[in-house]
Chain A
């Protein structure tokens, strides 16, 4: 998919708006938009793996959590500044994905999903077990930093990097190879694609971005607790957002995450106790009438060209 100049202009205007927005907003709105960017980033990170290779990762929160805790530990225990700590954490998340991927990416479908679910739980136990370093069940407090514009820009920048990477997937030899794996893995292999290698690279990139977001999240929240940081609900939200918008597309995770996060925010304010039920119905409704996601509405026309 190549982007037309009209679409490019719309994108540039949106990016410019996002870049100057913190000049006019603060407090609640700044926080809300930072959260929306975080979810766009997480859904986009999952999309790089699941949307393009077809491997559904039910433990993707593991890489978010590894990023968050490694950043926290490096800053608290070693007194490292935020940026190097976050970068090291993200590289570690990517590296661990490749290590875990070597055995698990030979498993197709539900088996991979289950193996990853177990991996995320195992990571949570590791954090609980090594409480001398991680704080364990008592949680971990990071140095407090209250420049909320910083976190806004950090999340926005990460989202732009993820969108750039997704665009590269859409248009590169590597990305086409991943799509071939998603569509028919055996045929991809006998057509000359080193499928295991390609899947591992995609997994590593995907986990690297989840790790960056985890690192920013840790510094932003200033407090980490294993049960929340490795919560399976975070994985679920990533999956729902990616598929709601349309997995395996450039805009899908952005639209899915922005849509769900906004709806939740509005409903939460209006229906404090029943909003999750309403959100659930909306998700079911959208998935039933739009099996290819919100983006699927437009995609049909793009393909027809």
Chain B
């Protein structure tokens, strides 16, 4: 697919396949189009050309709320909690609207997800009152409450301490074990190299490499994009 902003080509002929049950990592320098790709998949931007298919069905020009209901959830790089609502209500939005549950059924689901991500004892605090790390967990919880097939994670570990990253990785393994495919953008190399089954690399809006984490670490194109020509 291709995406432009005026004359700027933000994504050019990027072709991505996410297989059921896998953890696909996406890396690339700043401005290489990773978040734009997520925005196109989740329906926030329409692509200039190309097609997005999900379980054999074209979802290219669907609205974001429809894409969510079909089973593709996402988190934001800059967390976007419903600040004045408590954590329970935040997650309840996911189960009620993403999965079409009633307020009662949605509440049970929300509490279950909050327990899963470790926020159950804070569920009556507003999102404004909790730490950044908790807000990232909340983003994940809100997305999980929609019971997605696929979850798009946009730098969910940015700004976390090494110990918190370990925790987050455990959580993501567990999410994946429950049958949810993960497509993640991550700048923390150690994390993304550890957890991903496959990695794609973007640079200047183009896919420059794809393969196992080990192959990517040794690929000259990838090293050039990150470190410059001298290191090849």
Which residues on A are within 8 Å of B, measured CB to CB? Answer: 172-173, 176-177, 179-180, 183-184, 186-195, 248, 303, 305
Contacts and interface: CB of A to CB of B under 8 A. Distances in A.
Interface string B24-64: 00000000000000000011100000000000000000011
A56 B228 CA distance: 50
Contact of B82 (A172, A173, A187, A305): A187
B81 A183 contact: yes
Given A173-B96, A192-B68, A194-B65, A303 B126 contact: yes
9 contacts: A173-B102, A177-B96, A179-B82, A183-B82, A187-B81, A188-B97, A190-B68, A192-B68, A194-B65
Contacts of B76: 186-187
B108 to A, nearest CB: 14
Contacts of A172: 103
A184 B64 CA distance: 14
A193 B80 contact: no
Given A173-B102, A176-B92, A183 B68 contact: no
B186 to A, nearest CB: 19
Given A183-B85, A184-B80, A173 B103 contact: yes
Contact of A191 (B102, B126, B127, B142): B142
A248 B74 CA distance: 28
A189 B81 contact: no
A190 B82 contact: no
Interface of B: 42-44, 63-65, 67-69, 73-74, 76, 80-86, 89-90, 92-94, 96-99, 102-103, 106, 124, 126-127, 142-143, 146
Report whether over half of chain A's contact residues are helix, strand or loop; otherwise say mixed.
Answer: helix
Contacts of A303: 86, 126
Given A187-B81, A190-B43, 8 more contacts: A177-B96, A179-B84, A184-B80, A184-B81, A186-B76, A191-B73, A191-B97, A194-B63
B93 A190 contact: no
Nearest to A190: B64
B58 to A, nearest CB: 19
Contacts of A194: 63, 65
A262 B142 CA distance: 45
A191 B98 contact: yes
Contacts of B127: 183
A176 B143 CA distance: 17
4 interchain residue pairs of minimum CB distance? A192-B98, A183-B82, A192-B97, A187-B80
Contacts of A191: 65, 68, 73, 93-94, 97-98, 142-143, 146
A190 B67 CA distance: 8
A169 B223 CA distance: 54
Contacts of A188: 82, 93, 97
Contact of B99 (A186, A187, A192): A192
A103 B65 CA distance: 19
A194 B96 CA distance: 12
B68 to A, nearest CB: 4
Contacts of B64: 186, 189-190
